[in-house]
A = this chain, B = another copy of it.
């Protein structure tokens, strides 16, 4: 069994076609066929069911592919280990970002970063916090940007910034006349929330739990984007809370509806997180510096109170 054979298997599994897989792996189709046959002989099983069109994995084959992916992934991390030592900043770098941070933060640093470090090929994925934790732990992601603290054994956190919560109060709301919000003003039943799975939603629930100890009975409406929440709010369905950076993008005609909190303002802590194995640390440091640099100009709040992003 060689790593090359495993890569061939992965390619065929992906393209369900020997000929295409051969092109992708830069060898001829007979080479691929032979190597895969050799592996099948060695393990004494069939990986592919060649009678099906297009070709299919056998039951064992599926498990073989899974394990092959583990091995190939680990083997590709060997180069990272070396780069690490040499201080080389380059190669592919997989970054996860949670949905409520992605649209506002990404445009702020992306160009900046890729100009400064052209040898790094950034691959960015929008993932929720749970997915991020899994994928950092198993080495799929090199780093991620998420709300913290997560207090996870295997994950390091470096705080990028504190992003205050800002109230969006529609006209004719009971809080419209207030100039500054207080946590005590909030009523969870009156706040439009993102749909389940977003940690920003959990943060708000935690915030309200902390302010009054009553249970949470119902969420009137739920949506996946702040834009929708603001529109629903304008329809008189309740107020909502936005992360500060989102308020910068809001339609200027609506900024009059924004209400900040009195100090200390509730805020979420946003961090760059990565595995304690610290592979690609140089790239992580570079990314941290770039993001911290651009954010310094955008967020000036000092006196904040961090709200936990996780349930319970």
Contact of A45 among B59, B77, B85 (CB under 8 A): B85
Contact status of A67 and B74, CB under 8 A, knowing A2-B3, A82-B43? yes
The listed residue with most B CB atoms (<10 A of its CB), out of A2, A3, A45, is A3
Chain A 8-26 near chain B by CB (<8 Å), digits 1 or 0: 0000000000000000000
Complex alpha-carbon distance, A43 and B83, angstroms: 9
Q: Which residues does chain B contribute within 8 Å of A128, judged by CB atoms?
A: none
* A84 nearest CB neighbor, chain B only: B63
* A154 nearest CB neighbor, chain B only: B137
Asked if A75 is at the interface (CB within 8 A of a chain B CB), the reply is yes
Chain A 69-86 near chain B by CB (<8 Å), digits 1 or 0: 011001101110110111
Q: Which residues does chain B contribute within 8 Å of A82, judged by CB atoms?
A: 43-45, 60, 64
Q: Which residues does chain B contribute within 8 Å of A1, judged by CB atoms?
A: 3, 75, 78
User: 9 tightest CB-CB pairs across the interface, nearest first?
Assistant: A60-B85, A71-B74, A70-B74, A63-B81, A43-B82, A67-B81, A67-B78, A71-B75, A74-B74
Q: What are 27 A-B pairs with beta-carbon distances under 8 A?
A: A1-B3, A1-B75, A1-B78, A2-B2, A2-B3, A3-B3, A43-B82, A45-B82, A45-B85, A59-B85, A60-B81, A60-B82, A60-B85, A63-B81, A63-B84, A63-B85, A64-B81, A64-B82, A66-B81, A67-B74, A67-B78, A67-B81, A68-B78, A70-B74, A71-B74, A71-B75, A74-B74
